[in-house]
Amino acid sequence: MKPPRKLHIKSYGCQMNVYDAQRMVDTLAGDGFVETSSADDADLVILNTCHIREKASEKVYSELGRLRVAKDAAAKDGRDMRIAVAGCVAQAEGDEIIRRAPVVDVVVGPQSYHHLPLLLERAAQGGKAIETEFPAEDKFGFLPQPKSDAIRARGISAFVTVQEGCDKFCTFCVVPYTRGAEVSRPVEKIVDDVKRLADNGVRELTLIGQNVNAYHGEGPDGRAWPLGKLLHRLAEIGGIARLRYSTSHPSDVDDSLIEAHRDLPALMPFVHLPVQSGSDRILAAMNRKHTASDYRKVIERFRRVRQDIAFSSDFIVGFPGETEQEFSATLALVTQIGYAAAYSFKYSPRPGTPAAEMRETVSAADMDERLVRLQELIDSQQSAFNKAAIGTTVDVLFERTARNPGQIVGRTAYLQPAHVMASPDIIGQVLPVRLDSLERYSLLGALATVPTARPQRIAPSQPTIGA
Ligand code: 5AD
Ligand code: SF4
């Protein structure tokens, strides 16, 4: 029997890349590949790349430089190391990658990675293999199901892609070009995947999609189901204790989603709802299709049905032509909403996007300064939100043993890590925990037998949340 071949896969960027990497592992397991944690002893290294900002994209080339050395060292040992670039840089740059980094054997876009075995075979015959078309067939029809032990090894929390691509065309964003047009998977296919995950110990699901609440997959009744209806269906599957979804567009929040938050205790009251900017002029230039006031109204709709709901968001500072006053509108919006967490980025022009052609730029110094101010505000809100949890008793879903001996770590509804001293038997269970203190971003507490209470809602228009 041939010894197993070793596969090392490194993912950059979003949750969907993490999911795609797992599906690549499942696909290649059929070809006798087993995962290894180090690139140096691998027979195949896959970089699953991100193109969203220049920094993310450039990381690929520095990693490829390191891999060239590893490949040479392997060759000296008589081993043939193959290198593949997958993901959104592969889609955007195609054969340009091989021109810049001849060490690469295979380039494969995010819609074609089910062809990896074939592409590797082609590369083994001495050539380079590139596939960045959007194939007519749907990759999900070809990807093998993960094996039971692979699901168990990945833990109790899993991602499931329900929707892919985006038709929104925000002027700064490469996603509609790299991930393609918006496509939703049929309900029954998702239900089958989730049942299999639940049968193998998964307790928490995060439904993922570039614009997940644009979901409109075909239901068993032949009609297009919205995300809220899909969530209702998945909540019925035994074993699934928690449901989440990411990432949503404010304009696609419909009544079905609001009702799901009202009706489903399993649907966690923590929503990632990117707004990008608080200025209406910038939002229009970004082609976001909503104003700051529309966004506030969407937040209010969620809050009306679930008072303990908390939000996170994404922000871009220094979009072309953003004035100090327009940036202040972003700070004002953050102050008014009160976030539990948020990500903020300096605008990065991406080739092929309309914003990259805009001539009014913001200086690097202004961008730096704005980013610091925004992050300080967000940090203060996050820290107030976390501090407000101290002294409360909340449900925690336990995930794994912690680094400190005897400690088990889980997450609250708001994804805050919570540590308790307990037996590993509690992994996979949702149990009430009395939260006693906060160390950086982690809460420390003890298992409680008292009934659960939820942290208070964040009061809008208060910069210090929940305090
Ligand atoms: N520059 C900076 N940030 C960007 N994002 C997307 N494109 C860009 C860009 N060109 C941010 C947005 C998005 C998040 C995933 O990345 O905030 O919501
Ligand atoms: Fe990109 Fe999101 Fe806008 Fe789609 S909605 S173009 S993924 S920022």
Q: What is the pLDDT of residues 357-393, one digit of tens each?
A: 999 999 999 999 999 999 999 999 999 999 999 999 9
| Helix ranges (DSSP H) in 101-147 | 116-124
Q: Considering every ligand atom, which ligand is closest to the CA of 350? A: 1
Question: Do residues 394 and 454 lie in contact, with contact meaning Cβ atoms separated by under 8 Å?
Answer: yes
Q: How far apart are CA 268 and CA 340, in angstroms?
A: 14
Q: Which of 76, 62, 71, 75 is nearest to 12 (CA)?
A: 62
Tell me if 314 CB under 6 Å of ligand 1.
Answer: yes
* Mean pLDDT value across residues 198-203: 96
Separation CA 206–CA 196 (nearest Å): 15
pLDDT of residue 222: 98
Q: How far does the centroid of ligand 1 lie from the alpha carbon of residue 316, in Å?
A: 6
Atom of ligand 2 nearest to the CA of 167: 4
Cβ of 319 less than 6 Å from ligand 1: no
Residue 461 has pLDDT above 70, yes or no: no
User: Locate tokens 């109790």: which residue?
Assistant: 156
Rounded CA-CA distance 151/157 in Å is: 10
* Phi, psi of 48, deg, nearest 5: -100, 105
Gap from CA of 207 to ligand 2 centroid (Å): 17
Q: Ligand 2 mean position to 281 CA, how many Å?
A: 18
Read off the pLDDT of each residue in 64-93 and give the average, rounded to a whole number. Answer: 95
218 C-beta closer than 6 A to ligand 1: no
* CA–CA distance, 90 with 313 (Å, rounded to integer): 27
Q: What is the DSSP letter of 5?
A: E
> Which ligand is closest to the CA of 172, given by its number?
1
Per-residue pLDDT tens over the stretch 16-54:
999 999 999 999 999 999 999 999 999 999 999 999 999
Mapped to the 3 state alphabet, what secondary structure does 212-235 carry? HHHCCCECCCCCECCHHHHHHHHH
Above 90 in pLDDT, residue 342? yes
pLDDT of residue 383: 96
Atom of ligand 2 at shortest range from CA of 247: 2
What would the pLDDT profile of 387-444 be if each residue is shown by its tens digit? 999 999 999 999 999 999 999 999 999 999 999 999 999 999 999 999 999 998 899 9
CB of 166 shorter than 6 A to ligand 2:
yes
Q: Which tops the pLDDT comparison, 460 or 372? A: 372
Residue 288 CA: nearest ligand 2 atom is 3
Ligand 1 lined by 274 (C-beta under 6 Å): yes
Which residues of 172-256 form beta strands (DSSP E)? 183-184, 204-208, 242-246
Q: Which residue has the tokens 């009934």?
A: 451
pLDDT at 451: 38
The confidence score (pLDDT) of residue 464 equals 27
Instruction: Tell which one of 14, 16, 170 to mutate to probe ligand 2, the residue whose CB is within 8 A of the most ligand atoms.
Output: 170
Distance CA 63, CA 201 (A): 35
Backbone angles phi, psi at 295, to 5 degrees: -65, -45
Determine the atom of ligand 2 nearest the C-alpha atom of 179. 7
Tell me which DSSP letter residue 4 carries.
Answer: P
- Distance between Cα 259 and ligand 1 center (Å): 29
Give phi and psi for 425, each to the nearest 5: -60, -25
CA of 451 to the centre of ligand 1 (A): 41
Would the CB of 316 count as within 6 Å of ligand 1?
A: yes
Q: Which residues contact 396 (CB under 8 A, 6 or more apart)?
A: 410, 411, 412, 418, 420, 430, 431, 432, 433, 445
CA distances from 329 to 232, 351, 374, 379 (A): 37, 28, 11, 18
d(CA 417, CA 396): 9
